[in-house]
Amino acid sequence: MASENCVRTVTGIEDALYAIGGKWHLKILIALFNEARRFSDIRRAVSGISAKVLISELRHLELNGFITQRLQDAPGAVHYVLTDYSKTLEPVIHALHTWGAAHREKIKRQWVANDRYQRW
């Protein structure tokens, strides 16, 4: 039987992955970290995402309190902006970036070492 602490840890991680996991969530948030953007600007910044999927992902991020829509002066000009709550993800994103870059280098070193071994 899993300890209560273990269950709480797994549940917390599952909740975090639901909120920011998946293929597009973090990419969209990162695209918005420096500035508010219109839908078309986000789509250009997040290469490979379809309009239909982007709409769905923006709704998910809005429902989870990470982004909000801001009407601009021009009629119908909507910009998506990060909420203050989404800024709590900055240390998480930084930690993921640092770990991911280190992991990539580790894997590269393993490939090089394995390639040398196979040449013998």
Tens digit of each residue's pLDDT (9 = 90 or more) over 4-49: 999 999 999 999 999 898 899 999 999 999 899 999 999 999 999 9
The percent of residues in the chain predicted with pLDDT above 70, rounded, is: 94
Name the CA dihedral angle for 7, 12, 13, 16, rounded to a multiple of 10 degrees.
160
pLDDT at position 115: 73
User: What is the pLDDT, as a whole number, of residue 117?
Assistant: 55
What pLDDT, on the 0 to 100 scale, is given for residue 71? 87
Alpha carbon distance 39, 98 (integer Å): 29
71: β partners: 78
Domain ranges of the chain: 24-119
Fold for domain 24-119?
Arc Repressor Mutant, subunit A (1.10.10)
Helices then strands, each counted (H, E), the chain? 5, 3
- Interatomic CA distance for residues 91 and 45, integer angstroms: 22
The pLDDT of residue 120: 46
